[in-house]
Amino acid sequence: MTLNQLQDDIRRVFGAKDSARGMEGTFMWFMEEVGELSAALRGGSHQERVHEFADVLAWLATLANIAGVSLEEAMQVKYGAGCPTCGQTPCACGDANKP
């Protein structure tokens, strides 16, 4: 599944509800899911982590849909040529630098 396919699937299944909820409400749901992922990473089972990663990605796709942003395009623009800081693959930035 590509990121475009993910966004299309999320839009088809949840688009009307997402539009009605709006950006602020959707962002709150996204943050709740990030918190659940955090808990699963700290002490959950593999299955719980799988579930929470899927939820976070779905809510991120929802936010992108509401904002009119293609996740696939965003990733290509920012990371398509390697590290956005040093421009290399693999990244040659020092440990103190993001990413």
The string of DSSP letters for 11-43 reads: HHHHHHHHHHHHHHHHHHHHHHHHHHHHHHHHH
Q: What is the mean pLDDT of each run of 10 residues along the chain (99 residues)?
A: 97 96 96 98 98 98 98 97 94 83
User: Omega into 99 within 30° of 0, i.e. cis?
Assistant: yes
Give the separation between CA 10 and CA 4, rounded to whole angstroms: 10
| The pLDDT value given to residue 99 | 61
Rounded to two decimals, the pTM is: 0.91
pLDDT score recorded for residue 76: 97
Rounded Cα distance, 99 and 36, in Å:
23
Contact 82, 89 (CB under 8 A): yes
Report all structural domains of the chain as residue ranges with CATH numbers, in order of start.
3-68 (1.10.287.1080)
